[in-house]
Amino acid sequence: MAAEAPPHGAADALRLDHAGIELGSRFIWRDVDLRIVPGAFAAILGPNGAGKSTMLKALLGVLPLSEGTISVFGRLVRRGNDAVGYLPQRRTFDADLRVRAVDLVRLGLDGARWGLPVGRRSAEARRVDEVLEMVGAHAYARRPIGELSGGEQQRILIAQALVSGARMLVLDEPLDSLDLNNQQSISALVRRICQEGGVTVLLVAHDINPILPYVDQVVYIAQGRVVSGTPDEVIRSETLSRLYGTPVEVLRTTDGRVIVVGQNEPVSYHGHDH
Amino acid sequence: MITRAALQGPSWDLLADLQLLLQFHFMQNALTVGTIVAVLGGAIGYFIVLRGQSFAAHMLSQVGFPGAASAVLLGLSPVVGLLVACVAAALGIGGLGAGVGAGGRRESALIGSILAFSLGLGLLFIRLFSGSAQAIYAFLFGTILGITDRDVVIALIAAVVCLGGLAIVCRPLLFASIDADVAAARGVPVRLLSIVFLVLVAVAVAEAVQVVGTLLIFALLVAPAAAAQRLTARPYLGLALGVLLSLVFTWAGLAVAYFSNYPVGFFITTFAFATYLVIHVAVGAGAARERATGASRRDVA
């Protein structure tokens, strides 16, 4: 599966050239050149407000670039691309939301289509069953989404993102509202989808530690600029100090966790305990 | 006119009762429009409840009051006034950017302001109508027993257009109502849909006002759908169930009112409220029991 070649031979899963986004006469980031190869597990890191979610919205085609180009699997981005599955940043669904989880997954398949759902629908139902099985959500898929726990909702949303045959999974802080156990199991699930399904993963994270063992590439956004590379290349004192333009220290604990400490301002997004 | 029917009274012969019910033209019209409105209200109501836009529906019904009153002053059918005023208000709040994120704070403030203004207008019309308290009363509590043949035709056309529109947008609307961010990324025009939906609500409200009046609108637009969503979490089944409940409330309300000489609106709202209450309590108790056993099952596993 992982060997499935992209349509244009060596087309990158994600590619930005001289890209920039201006919001309210201020560039969030600009002059960004970035490549992510198909099948990679990439983490997008950076302080709050640096433009991590903005980058996701740009690659989803929801927010247009102010300059440069951005393409996904060799094609310029557009909304409603079946190849991209998206999990937005959120806390949880309203407990009163009386719609079954399986219906939510189904909407990922045909929710953008007009008209009543008529005719033979067994192929769609099978596909929904398949992804529910893949994410291990079969047991609670018939319950209302609002009654499920945060971890269960996250699995359902991953199923929804994958159901249309996505080759790229885009997740905005999927681990943020979860306890440690669920952080680990959701991270492991995303890694499995990446490795076994050959799905490219772009995951915005607040804290890199739960996913550090799985990450192939780190995209670090700060001060309107972006650096990218392997975790060891990017998460080190010299690289981050250069990016921030101020001394930053990267500490490694004995159990392999990474803590980033700023000198002038606290860089609070890594290594906080849960 | 009801008194004569009430004198004859209902029997246990349902067929004879039905013949009694339908012996007058005004009752035939009432049942026809009641049925049309119940189907429309139940279907649109499903999405009103899902999106948490009950307050918007309430506001639209209040706007309908001065709309209908001004139409009567101009010598037009009140239904036309209702439709024009409600649709204009829906486009207004949609155009001002409200109703996009369902049930947002900004929407509440805007809707509250429009609500107050339309009630103020209503006050003016009460003065202008000083000769006819009956007309005011009809707008506030419904005119179901005074429906003309022309009103029936207008109601039917409006309902067919409205349900047709809902059938076209139902899946993207469901998607946008549950998960606007993902729907937008998947290519659903979320903002446009929210405006289209408000217009559909406006038409349903304008129709429902005829049956239960502006003050009792929730009985047909919110209560059946809310009860249906407590009963099932399957979207299309919930929608159908909401329509069914709405029909039952309307028919039962009309029939009981016919034989009892008390107002239709009272009975429809009472049946709707009682049903909602029973379902809410019963389902709540069932869910609590299920959670308890489910939790213990998980503990064992």
What's the pLDDT tens digit per position in B49-65?
999 888 888 888 888 88
Give the per-residue pLDDT at B151.
82
Average pLDDT, chain A: 88
Token pair 């953008």 is found at A112
pLDDT tens string A142-192: 999 999 999 999 999 999 999 999 999 999 999 988 899 999 999 999 999
Distance CA B300, CA B221 (A): 44
Residue B162 pLDDT > 90: yes
User: Which residues have CB under 8 Å from B233's CB, separation 6+?
Assistant: A98, A99, A100, A103, A143, A144
Distance CA A105, CA A121 (A): 14
Distance CA B195, CA A100 (A): 26
Contact B182 A97 (CB under 8 A): no
Give the per-residue pLDDT at B253.
92
Give the per-residue pLDDT at A272.
42
**Mutation target vs B (from A53, A92, A99, A110; most B CBs, 10 A cutoff):** A99
In this structure, are residues B165 and A114 in contact, taking their beta carbons and an 8 Å threshold? no
In 3D space, the residue among B177, B185, B236 whose CA is nearest the CA of residue A97 turns out to be: B177
Q: Write out the H or E segment, with its range, that includes residue A151.
A: helix A150-162
**Mutation target vs A (from B46, B163, B170, B171; most A CBs, 10 A cutoff):** B171
In 3D space, the residue among A32, A15, A34 whose CA is nearest the CA of residue A66 turns out to be: A32
Residue B272 pLDDT > 80: yes
Chain mean position to CA B132: 26
Q: B-side interface with A, Cβ within 8 Å?
A: 50, 167-172, 174-175, 178-179, 181-188, 229-230, 232-236, 238, 287
Residue A211 pLDDT > 70: yes
Contact B186 A112 (CB under 8 A): yes
Size (chain B), residues: 301
Cα-based angle A155, A158, A162 (whole degrees, multiple of 5): 140
Contact B233 A60 (CB under 8 A): no
Q: How many helices (H) and strands (E) does chain B have?
A: 14, 0
A153-172 residues touching B, CB cutoff 8 A: 157, 160-161, 164
In this structure, are residues A45 and A202 in contact, taking their beta carbons and an 8 Å threshold? no
**Amino acid in the structure at residue A65:** L
Residue of A nearest to B186 (CA): A80
Residue of B nearest to A160 (CA): B182
Q: Give the confidence band of B244 by pLDDT, cuts at 50, 70, 90.
A: very high
What is the nearest CA distance from B161 to chain A, expressed in angstroms? 14
Contact A108 B181 (CB under 8 A): no
In 3D space, the residue among B216, B79, B202, B83 whose CA is nearest the CA of residue B148 turns out to be: B79
Contacting residues of B for A160, CB less than 8 Å apart: 182
In this structure, are residues A143 and A154 in contact, taking their beta carbons and an 8 Å threshold? no
Q: Give the confidence band of B5 by pLDDT, cuts at 50, 70, 90.
A: very low
Instruction: Give the C-alpha distances (Å, rounded to integers) separating B135 from B130, B139, B284.
Output: 10, 7, 42
Contact B182 A113 (CB under 8 A): no
Lowest mean pLDDT among A62-76, A99-113, B141-155, B194-208: B141-155
What is the nearest CA distance from A82 to chain B, expressed in angstroms? 8
Contact A112 B184 (CB under 8 A): no
The string of DSSP codes covering B6-28 is HHH---S-HHHHHHHHTTSHHHH
Give the per-residue pLDDT at A91.
65
What is the nearest CA distance from A230 to chain B, expressed in angstroms? 29
In this structure, are residues A221 and A29 in contact, taking their beta carbons and an 8 Å threshold? yes
* Greater model confidence, B298 or B150: B150
Burial status of residue B100 (CB atoms within 10 A of its CB: 0-12, 13-18, 19 or more): middle
Chain mean position to CA B19: 28
In this structure, are residues A67 and A27 in contact, taking their beta carbons and an 8 Å threshold? no
In this structure, are residues A93 and A143 in contact, taking their beta carbons and an 8 Å threshold? no
B188 phi and psi, to 5 degrees? Answer: -80, 130
**Mutation target vs A (from B182, B229, B234, B280; most A CBs, 10 A cutoff):** B182
Contact B174 A97 (CB under 8 A): no
pTM score, whole prediction: 0.86
Contacting residues of A for B236, CB less than 8 Å apart: 117
Give the per-residue pLDDT at A21.
95
Q: Give the confidence band of A127 by pLDDT, cuts at 50, 70, 90.
A: very high
The structure tokens listed for B293 are: 């056993």
In this structure, are residues A14 and A76 in contact, taking their beta carbons and an 8 Å threshold? no
In this structure, are residues A140 and A148 in contact, taking their beta carbons and an 8 Å threshold? yes
* Residue A148: strand, helix, or coil: coil
Provide the 10 A C-beta neighbour count for residue B208. 35
Burial status of residue A237 (CB atoms within 10 A of its CB: 0-12, 13-18, 19 or more): middle
Q: Write out the H or E segment, with its range, that includes residue A19.
A: strand A14-23
Cα-based angle A200, A206, A211 (whole degrees, multiple of 5): 50
* Residue B35: strand, helix, or coil: helix
What is the nearest CA distance from B169 to chain A, expressed in angstroms? 6
Size (chain A), residues: 274
The structure tokens listed for A163 are: 């159901």
Looking at residues A3-32, what average pLDDT do you find? 82
Looking at residues B30-37, what average pLDDT do you find? 92
Contact B184 A104 (CB under 8 A): no
What is the nearest CA distance from B183 to chain A, expressed in angstroms? 7
Residue B288 pLDDT > 70: yes
Distance CA B291, CA B244 (A): 29
Contact A107 B175 (CB under 8 A): yes
pLDDT tens string B202-239: 998 888 887 778 777 878 889 999 999 999 999 999 99
Contacting residues of B for A99, CB less than 8 Å apart: 50, 174, 178, 233, 235
Contact A107 B233 (CB under 8 A): no
Give the per-residue pLDDT at A116.
87
Instruction: Taking each helix axis as running N to C, give the angle between helix A150-162 and helix A122-134, from 0 to 180 degrees, rounded to the nearest 10.
Output: 130
Instruction: Taking each helix axis as running N to C, give the angle between helix B149-178 and helix A101-110, from 0 to 180 degrees, rounded to the nearest 10.
Output: 90
The structure tokens listed for A170 are: 């885009």
DSSP state of A76: E
pLDDT tens string B81-102: 888 998 998 888 877 765 444 4
Looking at residues A73-99, what average pLDDT do you find? 88
pLDDT tens string A240-274: 888 888 888 888 888 888 888 875 555 545 444 43
Looking at residues B179-193, what average pLDDT do you find? 91
Contact A87 B182 (CB under 8 A): yes
In this structure, are residues B44 and B162 in contact, taking their beta carbons and an 8 Å threshold? yes
* Greater model confidence, A91 or B239: B239
